[in-house]
Amino acid sequence: MKDIAQRAGVSESAVSFALNGRPGVSEVTRDRIRRVAEQLGWRPSTAARALSGEGAATVGLVLARPAAVLGVDSFFLQLISGIQEILSERQLGLLFQVVEDVDAECAVYRRWWAENRVDGVLVVDPRTDDPRPDLLGELGLPGVVIGALPGDDGPLLRDDDGEAMPHPGLSQVRADDAGAMAVVVGRLHELGHRRIVHIAGLPSLAHTERRVRSLEAEAGRRGLAEVRSVTTDYSDTQGAAVTRRVLTEGSPPTALVYDNDVMAAAGVAVATELGLSVPRDLSVISWEDSALCRLVRPWLTALSRDTIAFGRGAAHELVALLDGGAAHTVQVPLPHLIERESTAGARAS
């Protein structure tokens, strides 16, 4: 306001009246002030308007995934529901955008920062080579990462006071993907399964890499030679195609682990089409539990976690940052395996 006032030759109060559409200045002066503001690259600040009672503060969420896949993904619907619960309590708005890739997501952050559109952001789907933490640090934009960043998936580091040491400048709400995969492999091993295929999600995601590494480690520890992962785009189409391919190979698996419920349901349909019985011939486990897991036949065994609470926790951490709190890391509880009709002991081969 001071810069605009000096350039336009008016008082700061006149600038405030002009830019906020209030009476108190002539139309000629208002136009001059707006032209100067535009020359200086001024954009309206949502946060400032919120502080003055003229609007609600806003946080941002960008999803860099195909829109068609998001439309059938129950995880994000539940996550956003939990986020919105906390934001509503604080009368904070949620600015949501879907983009093609991480480069486009970074461009959105730069634009939001330049226009003061958001006070902070929620970052999902950490990548194996992720530019977003450094960018947010450069912009000084508070953020909470939902999921562990690359290199941050081991035991939490702690300072001399026993406090967890976070990634610089960002809070994290982490899920233990490696531990969850160990639970799944351990249970399938107990049921006698020795040929297991993990039908995973996007290969660029950090949690996909952790699940793949954990599968390999658990297989090695138990001496399982016929265990592997195959990546997909999370869609039912690719899930079905990969299922058909692995089940028609020379030594097909006796158990399939899917990274979401949609692919698991598609996989059961393919197995049935191929004349296989679930679970007599093939056991199936879904990484995410949902109503879909109880709508298909047989009901799907699934890893269950409180995704709405996951979203609430992430939003709570972001609100704490906006209130001036320090960044830190929160570990969510390990998912538990709900055994239903789609898993059974492996048949002798």
Contact 195/227 with Cβ under 8 angstroms?
yes
Provide the 3-class DSSP secondary structure of residue 162: coil
Digit-by-digit pLDDT tens for the chain (349 residues) are: 888 998 889 998 888 888 876 788 898 898 899 889 888 877 655 445 555 544 348 999 999 987 777 767 788 889 999 999 999 998 899 999 999 999 999 999 999 998 889 999 999 999 988 999 999 999 989 999 998 887 655 444 444 455 544 466 789 999 999 999 999 999 999 999 999 999 999 999 999 999 999 999 999 999 999 999 999 999 999 999 999 999 999 899 999 999 999 999 999 999 999 999 999 999 999 999 999 999 999 999 999 999 999 999 999 999 999 888 889 899 999 999 999 999 999 987 6
Q: Which residues pair with 95 in a beta bridge?
A: 60
Q: What local confidence, expressed as pLDDT, does residue 154 receive?
A: 45
Which residues lie closer than 8 Å to 6 by C-beta, 6 or more apart?
Answer: none
CATH topology of domain 58-175+306-331: Rossmann fold (3.40.50)
The reply to whether 58-175+306-331 and 177-304 are identical in fold is yes
Topology at the third CATH level for domain 177-304: Rossmann fold (3.40.50)
Q: What is the 3-state secondary structure (H, E, C) of 139-153?
A: HCCCEEEECCCCCCC
pLDDT number for residue 165: 46
* C-alpha distances in Å from residue 71, one per residue of 38, 68, 77, 235, 237: 39, 5, 9, 10, 14
Output the pLDDT for position 52: 52
The 10 Å Cβ neighbour count of residue 223 is 8
Give the 3-state secondary structure percentages of the chain, helix then strand then coil, rounded to 5.
45, 15, 40
Q: Which amino acid is at 56?
A: A
Strand order across the 329-331 sheet: 93-98, 58-63, 120-124, 143-146, 170-174, 329-331
Would you list the domain boundaries of the chain?
Answer: 2-42, 58-175+306-331, 177-304
Contact 86, 316 (CB under 8 A): yes
Class of domain 2-42: mainly alpha
Q: What's the pLDDT score for residue 156? A: 44
pLDDT of residue 17: 82
105 Cβ neighbours under 8 A, 6+ residues apart: 62, 64, 99, 132
Which sign does the torsion angle of CA 154, 130, 87, 336 carry?
negative
Question: CA nearest 199: which of 155, 230, 164?
Answer: 230
